[in-house]
Chains A and B, each alone.
Chain A
Amino acid sequence: MVLLLQYTLIFAAVLLLVALGGCFTEHSGVINIGLEGIMVMGALGGALVMRFLPYDASAATLATRFGMFGLVALASVAVGMLYSLLLAVASINFKADQTIVGTAMNLLGTAAATVIVKSMNTAANPDDHSSEIQYGGPKSAFISKFGTFELNWFVILAAVLLVVSIIVLYKTRFGLRLRACGEHPQAADSVGINVFKMRYAGVLISGFLGGLGGITYITVGVSLWKFENGVAGFGFLALAVMIFGAWDPIKIAGAAILFGLFRALGNVHAGIPFLASMEIPPAVYNMLPYIVSLIVLAFTSKKSRAPKAEGIPYDKGQR
């Protein structure tokens, strides 16, 4: 059961971070299908820091552990934000089709990460054609053990960012203006708000949170990552979490925990006697979160609370 809790928390943290990212973009009026790609790139950024930064797990103090954690997070955030610019430029400046661009970003994320890691590995060792990065040692920097329970620091970070997101969206001037741009950009413009700037902010925040979500995901239970595999659809699952959570951070957190639980079952079902005795094939557990989300969407989409102007490029001329 401890294991179930541990995995539920960590998967929920990933979904929460990424879904919050989607939530910010969509509140600014841009649809972000490309979260999956942003996650991969963010994960790559963090993994590279872990790979190349000298770190001795046995001699680590709290300060060095904290430093490692900070640098890994920073790298993921930076790469994620940089990558999200691809969406911002295309959809805000060039009014490109946001669905095509987002899809391309997903494919590009995995392809680019694979190319980068492989060429890096090959450069180091001409016989190494794998797309793996190992980070077993450095990863231990931000994992605290309480008995058998392992707490990943990113879970705490996710919780903190949830609170920050709620405050930013609902208690600050920035949040008010951001949401106005996603609901009624003409109204926002008429009171002197720069819609383009706000939408850029929305997309960049999704790069920030998506990048963090990516690095969190690849530190779940493994100490190496094969970048060819991307992030197994977690970016998409996060989109479903966001829709299910009605674009509201608190409800998104609830949805993330629910989906996280279903996802965690896939990892730990063998260890739970009751579930193990049912002998359900693991593929069923893998499918579960997606099936649940599809059913939930079928019942909740009729009255969508989506920001009204999302997906529509803002044209200053049309007032």
Chain B
Amino acid sequence: MSNEHYAIEMLHITKRFPGIVANDDITLQLKPGEIHALLGENGAGKSTLMSVLFGLYQPEEGIIKKDGVEVTIRNPNDATALHIGMVHQHFKLVECFSVLDNIILGIEPTKAGFLRKAEAREKVMALSEKYGLHVDPDALIEDITVGMQQRTEILKMLYRDNEILIFDEPTAVLTPQEIDELMEIMRGLAREGKSILFISHKLNEIMSVADRCSVLRKGKYIGTVEVANTTKEELSRMMVGRDVEFVVHKDPAQPTDVVLDVEDITVASKMHSNNAVKNVSFKVRRGEIVCIAGIDGNGQTELVYGLTGLEPLKSGKVIMNGEDITKAPIRKRSVMGMSHIPEDRHKHGLVLDYPLEYNLVLQRYFEPEFTKCGFLRKANIRSYAERLIEQYDVRSGQGPITMARSMSGGNQQKAIVAREIDKNPELLIAVQPTRGLDVGAIEYIHKQIVAHRDSGKAVLLVSLELEEVMSLSDRILVMYEGEIVGELDPKTTTVEELGLYMAGAKRMEVQ
């Protein structure tokens, strides 16, 4: 083992944050000229590991070696000097610059301060020829496809003579054809001796392009396998683990009338020109928890924005309790009985500089109970807030008058859950309701959601956590690249199978 030559090695890396070990003794070794996949769920510790490699974090334990020599990386410039480059998930490109300008930015060839673009252009064209990266150097970034933008990012690395190329979830924003092209480009790069680290959770892609695959789970290193000697099932098992650690006690669902009927909706994406949600249809009934499962960035966010009215639909219809609400304003949907626990509690869920009591009435402040003749009924707001705080066990420094900003994340989330469930909605849309919370809070929120279902209401849950999906839902819809690719019954399906659908390795015709 010791005579094996590695381009870059991260040995026994441990990185702790308050209350959490993000990387626990992780070892990653990248051979020259190989494509090495890094597989793991959301929160498995991949991005922390990469931040360590780029010097954004200093690890508590462990060392990094380049070509067998120990190196210290204090900031991204050190990483660049070691010829390590990365294509970020969100491209770091200046939109109104040309492709060429973006490539040379930071290491421009100049004479007396004047740009020598002709020289740069020659080098870029040579690289583009050599690796089959077709770009128009004079096109503006904002005018070209996401695939071209990605090729620009790759050229940026090659222009800097980078040897170690990291691709962070590069296929999330691409069309199938573009993905095929990217795979071909990656193989070409590896043939030319570049070492590639490919961060992904799409099993098909890993199987088709990677030589080896390292798997992380919950901050721990699970193992490294030769892709040729493994199967998708094996990888899926390594990624998600076998056991569902805690189980929610609930009776079988007894679904009755349809509350939410989604017909063939399409939602545009803000990130790229593809549609984020493509012709999705499904129904949610009273007394059931329907879960949209999937890996982050497959259109779940936009689907929820479309349903709640935060973004307009491109096409399709949304019907709630028989009424067409496709174009209804947000307030109307809310009054009709739609509640929404948003994905990002700081962006949408809370007014951070409002006290807790004001946040607790954010969806109801206009009701007669809280407003009379245009004046807030502060006494009622206070007593309502106190009841919610008591009932839902929201803890804070000063009770109702605590500023939301000063509360812990778990209690902020509990406050939102309390607000949305206490409205007693016909339909509860909960997006990652337990993200970043500790076990106690998770259990509590799960109980509330089940109780809401049991009171005969409909719940649409969007979750990235497989355990949550498996233990909480009555029906699972898997979303992959903006489409629903499978409908599964959590009682009969397995985590592995779910993983295959989420990673796009399997699909079925739904409805």
Within 8 A of A (CB), among B79-117: 80, 88, 92-97, 101-102, 104-108, 110, 113-115
* Bound-complex Cα distance A189 to B303 (A): 34
Chain A residues within 8 Å of B32, by CB: none
CB distance from A228 to the nearest CB of B (A): 41
Chain B residues within 8 Å of A308, by CB: 95
Would you call A187 and B92 a contact (CB within 8 A)?
Answer: yes
Q: Interface readout for B153-167 with A: 1 if CB under 8 Å, 0 if not?
A: 000100000000000
Would you call B95 and A184 a contact (CB within 8 A)?
Answer: yes
Q: Interface readout for A187-227 with B: 1 if CB under 8 Å, 0 if not?
A: 11111110000000000000000000000000000000000
Within 8 A of A (CB), among B51-100: 56, 76-77, 80, 88, 92-97
Would you call A174 and B106 a contact (CB within 8 A)?
Answer: no
Contact of A191 among B56, B88, B105 (CB under 8 A): B105
Chain B residues within 8 Å of A183, by CB: 94-97
* Bound-complex Cα distance A300 to B108 (A): 34
Would you call B113 and A179 a contact (CB within 8 A)?
Answer: no
CB distance from A186 to the nearest CB of B (A): 6
Within 8 A of B (CB), among A151-178: 171-174, 176-177
Q: Interface readout for A283-319 with B: 1 if CB under 8 Å, 0 if not?
A: 0000000000000000000000100100000000001
* Bound-complex Cα distance A319 to B168 (A): 15
Chain A residues within 8 Å of B92, by CB: 184, 186-187, 190-191
CB distance from B276 to the nearest CB of A (A): 22
Would you call A184 and B94 a contact (CB within 8 A)?
Answer: yes
Would you call B93 and A173 a contact (CB within 8 A)?
Answer: no
A253 on the B face (CB < 8 A): no
Q: Which of A172, A183, A184, A189 has the most CB of B within 10 A?
A: A184
Would you call B97 and A191 a contact (CB within 8 A)?
Answer: no
Q: Which of A179, A186, A187, A189 has the most CB of B within 10 A?
A: A187
Tally of contacts, chain A with chain B, CB under 8 A: 62
Q: List 18 A-B contacts (CB under 8 A).
A: A172-B110, A172-B113, A173-B114, A177-B105, A179-B97, A183-B97, A186-B92, A187-B93, A187-B94, A187-B105, A188-B105, A188-B106, A189-B76, A191-B105, A191-B107, A192-B76, A192-B80, A308-B95
Would you call A180 and B94 a contact (CB within 8 A)?
Answer: yes
Q: How many residues of A contact B (CB 8 A)?
A: 21
Contact of A176 among B77, B93, B95, B101 (CB under 8 A): B101
Since A179-B94, A183-B97 are in contact, a sample of 16 more A-B pairs with Cβ atoms closer than 8 Å, ordered by chain A residue number, is A173-B110, A173-B115, A176-B101, A179-B97, A180-B94, A180-B105, A183-B94, A183-B96, A187-B93, A188-B105, A188-B106, A190-B76, A190-B92, A192-B77, A305-B96, A319-B56
Q: Which of B88, B94, B101 has the most CB of A within 10 A?
A: B94
User: Measuring CB to CB, which residues of chain B are less than 8 angstroms from any residue of chain A?
Assistant: 56, 76-77, 80, 88, 92-97, 101-102, 104-108, 110, 113-115, 156
* Bound-complex Cα distance A94 to B353 (A): 22
Chain B residues within 8 Å of A190, by CB: 76, 88, 92
Chain A residues within 8 Å of B94, by CB: 179-180, 183-184, 187-188
* Bound-complex Cα distance A183 to B97 (A): 9
* Bound-complex Cα distance A308 to B97 (A): 12
Chain A residues within 8 Å of B95, by CB: 183-184, 308
The closest CB in chain A to the CB of B103 belongs to A191
Would you call B113 and A193 a contact (CB within 8 A)?
Answer: no
Q: Which of A177, A189, A190 has the most CB of B within 10 A?
A: A190
User: Measuring CB to CB, which residues of chain A are less than 8 angstroms from any residue of chain B?
Assistant: 171-174, 176-177, 179-180, 183-184, 186-193, 305, 308, 319
CB distance from B277 to the nearest CB of A (A): 26
Chain A residues within 8 Å of B115, by CB: 171-173, 176
CB distance from A195 to the nearest CB of B (A): 12
Chain A residues within 8 Å of B102, by CB: 187
* Bound-complex Cα distance A176 to B95 (A): 13
* Bound-complex Cα distance A268 to B76 (A): 60
* Bound-complex Cα distance A180 to B98 (A): 12
Would you call B106 and A191 a contact (CB within 8 A)?
Answer: yes
* Bound-complex Cα distance A80 to B296 (A): 51
CB distance from B180 to the nearest CB of A (A): 28
* Bound-complex Cα distance A246 to B156 (A): 29
Given A183-B95, A187-B92, A190-B76, A172–B114 Cβ distance below 8 Å?
yes
The closest CB in chain A to the CB of B102 belongs to A187
* Bound-complex Cα distance A188 to B156 (A): 13
CB distance from B97 to the nearest CB of A (A): 7
Chain B residues within 8 Å of A171, by CB: 114-115
- Nearest first, the 6 closest Cβ-Cβ pairs linking A and B are A191-B106, A187-B92, A173-B108, A183-B94, A184-B94, A173-B110
* Bound-complex Cα distance A188 to B105 (A): 8
The closest CB in chain B to the CB of A308 belongs to B95
Chain A residues within 8 Å of B96, by CB: 183, 305
* Bound-complex Cα distance A190 to B56 (A): 11
The closest CB in chain B to the CB of A319 belongs to B56
CB distance from B81 to the nearest CB of A (A): 9
Chain B residues within 8 Å of A319, by CB: 56
The closest CB in chain B to the CB of A177 belongs to B105
The closest CB in chain B to the CB of A175 belongs to B115
Chain A residues within 8 Å of B106, by CB: 177, 188, 191-193
Would you call B76 and A176 a contact (CB within 8 A)?
Answer: no
* Bound-complex Cα distance A191 to B93 (A): 10
Given A180-B97, A183-B94, A319-B56, A174–B113 Cβ distance below 8 Å?
yes
The closest CB in chain B to the CB of A247 belongs to B96
Chain A residues within 8 Å of B110, by CB: 172-173
Chain B residues within 8 Å of A305, by CB: 96
* Bound-complex Cα distance A173 to B92 (A): 19
The closest CB in chain B to the CB of A307 belongs to B96
The closest CB in chain A to the CB of B80 belongs to A192
Given A183-B96, A184-B93, A176–B108 Cβ distance below 8 Å?
yes
* Bound-complex Cα distance A128 to B273 (A): 69
CB distance from B79 to the nearest CB of A (A): 10
CB distance from B208 to the nearest CB of A (A): 30
CB distance from B165 to the nearest CB of A (A): 15
Chain A residues within 8 Å of B97, by CB: 176, 179-180, 183
* Bound-complex Cα distance A177 to B104 (A): 10
CB distance from A89 to the nearest CB of B (A): 25
Chain A residues within 8 Å of B113, by CB: 172-174
Chain A residues within 8 Å of B80, by CB: 191-192
* Bound-complex Cα distance A191 to B76 (A): 8
CB distance from A167 to the nearest CB of B (A): 8
Chain A residues within 8 Å of B156, by CB: 191
The closest CB in chain A to the CB of B51 belongs to A319
Would you call A193 and B105 a contact (CB within 8 A)?
Answer: yes
The closest CB in chain A to the CB of B56 belongs to A319
Chain B residues within 8 Å of A180, by CB: 94, 97, 105
* Bound-complex Cα distance A189 to B94 (A): 12
The closest CB in chain A to the CB of B110 belongs to A173
Chain A residues within 8 Å of B114, by CB: 171-173
Chain B residues within 8 Å of A193, by CB: 105-106
* Bound-complex Cα distance A171 to B106 (A): 15
